[in-house]
Amino acid sequence: MKIKTDFLIVGSGISGLSLALNLSKQVPEEKILLITKESLHESSTFHAQGGIACVWDKTDNFEKHIHDTLIAGDGLCDENIVKAIITQAPDRIRDLIDLGVEFTRNGNGEYDLGQEGGHSQRRVLHVNDQTGKSVEQTLIDNVKKLNNVEIKEYWCAVNLYAENFKCYGAYALDQESGEIHNIAAKATILATGGAGKIYLYTTNPDIASGDGIAMAYRAGCSISNMEFFQFHPTGLYHPFAKNFLITEAMRGEGAILKDIRGNQFIEKYHPLKELAPRDVVSRAIDAELKKSGDDYVLLDIASYKSPDFIISHFPGIYEQCLKFNIDICKEPIPIVPTAHYCCGGVMTGIDGTTEVKNLYVIGESSCTGLHGANRLASNSLLEGLVNAHECSITLKNRISELKVKEFPDWEPGNAVPSTEAVIISQNWDEIRRFMWNYVGIVRTDLRLQRAKKRINLLLDEINQYYWDFKIEKNLVELRNLATVAKIIIVSAISRKESRGIHYNIDYPNKSEMSRPTILKKPW
């Protein structure tokens, strides 16, 4: 089916939903189509616990927040972008409050500001430990009220249609009917989130397969800094606990890391101890596990805070852990580091502008220069809000020059229904395992070269399968996941130093001349 719309938004997290709201206000007469490959709720935003970093308290200031962000980014942040995003934070927070987000208040009726690793003081606004869930639901409720926004759930973007660095729209698979729709738009905006499913252990939901990054790469966009994949230090360790994060805010409130024998260890690695940047804490835990042979370490808040405090501040974590017979008011939590956030992505401006005309990328799929070599805690939701706000302004200013142009329908060729779905699951599992083992928290040249050989073989196999069989969501995700995995591997090989999240034993020191990594087709 051929579909025409003014603006096509792919993704329903904080970036995509915020853009739909902002764009609807900026150009109310234009039609907006928002598609998402699962339900509207299924996004990394929904699962975000900690909060949104913002200078709010009178004792805080923009300079401090900027400084903390630059320190975490370890020399690779774009300082102008950092300033632009952080100085917008209070206005974007007020936008959410106006929409109905009720941030947690303290006993004095003021907003309760959390402390997280890398921040010099309290500045994280939150809704207990379920900030993302509250923000996501509020945005969904408001978007559903808009007359000029059409929502299609379970529509999976397959590929962009782009020629000569100009994007005309996208092909999308309707998973219910199996039909691939041809969606022509004046502008296409990718807000598809991260790529955590590339790794065996991740806090990301199953949808995070790097779709936007892979599609933009195939369309001709440059991809930057993909070697910087952030591992969160504290994922719940339990055989049945899938993708569950223990928020950094818990360490901000006094939780202590210990080995399974009860010994504290983090002070050996950084003077800030539990509040050290995430990459330091993740590597410290990884080093302790490799040294001891243990499967996990412990995060202990029960010994330092009352049950009332724990339950009131971390109700979501308390309830979730109880499902696995872990009472965090009485015992420490078993944790391991887990893949969490993609600091790199499609090279864009603050408004999502890419090298491909009429194609915009916002949120975690983008690389604006805010995060550099390591993201400061709770800056991610903030970036998504600012990207969406700026993107809507740019699109409004360009509205007179934007035109819809149709393009050819999807050509299935001789593709037949798949009878070998096991190939998809096997390749997916293999990629996630060797990415975890070879391109994880600690890397070596030998491991990276092994990963490169494996991904080249798998890409050939996956691409052949892609053209031989009819399109389904799992195949689309596998193709994208493999593409992004290779981008990460090639980027990591090219960085001959250790910086931020990227740590290579063969190059333990920082280079004096360090620049962003940039990849573009062909490899």
Question: Higher pLDDT residue, 239 or 473?
Answer: 473
pLDDT bin (cut points 50, 70, 90) of residue 523 is low
Query: Which of 354, 107, 386, 412 is CA-nearest to residue 221?
Result: 354
Catalytically annotated residue among 123, 278, 454, 495: 278
As a residue count, the chain comes to: 523
Helices (H), 359-472: 380-397, 421-438, 445-468
Q: Which pLDDT value is given to residue 280?
A: 86
What is the predicted pLDDT for the residue at 117? 80
Angle, to 10 degrees, between the axis of helix 473-494 and the axis of helix 211-219?
Answer: 70
Which of 238, 247, 241, 261 is CA-nearest to residue 124?
Answer: 247
Rounded average pLDDT over 153-171: 97
Torsion of the alpha carbons at 344, 345, 346 and 349, rounded to the nearest 10: -50
Q: Please state the rounded mean pLDDT for residues 223-229.
A: 98
Give the pLDDT score at 483: 97
CB 275 within 8 A of CB 118: yes
Q: Cis omega (within 30 of 0) on the bond before 522?
A: yes
The CATH number given to 421-512 is 1.20.58.100
- Beta strand pairing call for 180-190 and 166-174: antiparallel
Class of the 2-227+343-401 domain? alpha beta
Nearest 5°: the CA angle 282, 287, 289 is 95
- As a whole number, the mean pLDDT across the chain is 94
Per the CB < 8 A criterion, the answer to whether 504 and 497 are in contact is yes
Give the pLDDT of residue 189.
98
- Angle between helices 14-26 and 380-397 in degrees, nearest 10: 30
Instruction: Give pLDDT tens digits for 326-343.
Output: 999 999 999 999 999 999
Grade residue 279 by pLDDT with cuts at 50, 70 and 90: confident
SS3 207: coil
> Phi and psi (nearest 5°) for 383?
-60, -45
Rg, the chain, Cα only? 22
Cβ partners under 8 Å of residue 412, min gap 6: 180, 470, 471
Q: What is the mean pLDDT of residues 220-226?
A: 97
Going across the sheet that includes 256-258, the strands are 229-236, 333-342, 297-300, 256-258
Which residues are paired to 347 by β-bridges? 367
Name the burial class of residue 331, with classes exposed (0-12), middle (13-18) and buried (19+) by CB atoms within 10 angstroms of its CB: middle
Angstrom CA distances, 354 to 220, 370, 423, 480, stand at 10, 16, 34, 19
**φ and ψ at 464, to 5 degrees?**
-65, -45
Q: Which of 347-351, 368-372, 409-413 has the lowest mean pLDDT?
A: 409-413
Number of Cβ within 10 Å of residue 438's Cβ equals 20
The answer on pLDDT for 468 being more than 90 is no
On the question of pLDDT at 421 being above 80, the answer is no
418 vs 191 pLDDT, higher one: 191
Q: What is the mean pLDDT of residues 295-315?
A: 95
Is residue 495 among the annotated active site residues?
no
pLDDT, one tens digit per residue, over 235-249 is 999 888 777 889 888
Burial (CB < 10 A; 0-12, 13-18, 19+), residue 228, is: buried
pLDDT value for 174 = 97
490 pLDDT exceeds 70? Answer: yes
User: Are 17 and 193 a contacting pair, CB within 8 Å?
Assistant: no
Sequence-distant contacts of 166-169: CB under 8 A, at least 24 apart: 166/356, 166/357, 166/358, 167/219, 167/356, 167/357, 167/358, 167/359, 168/358, 168/405, 168/406, 168/407, 169/8, 169/407
Residue 495 has pLDDT above 70, yes or no: yes
* Both tokens assigned to 458: 């798998």
Rounded-to-integer distance, Cα 365 and Cα 448, Å: 23
Interatomic CA distance for residues 502 and 444, integer angstroms: 11
The residues spanned by each domain of the chain are: 2-227+343-401, 237-338, 421-512
Q: Do residues 324 and 238 touch, judged by C-beta distance below 8 A?
A: yes
Mean pLDDT of 296-319: 95
Mean pLDDT of 180-208: 95
- Across the range 473-490, mean pLDDT stands at 96
Do the beta carbons of residue 198 and residue 435 sit within 8 Å? yes
**Structure-model confidence comparison of residues 280 and 357, the more confident one:** 357
List the CATH code of the domain at 237-338. Answer: 3.90.700.10
Element (H, E) at 187: strand 180-190
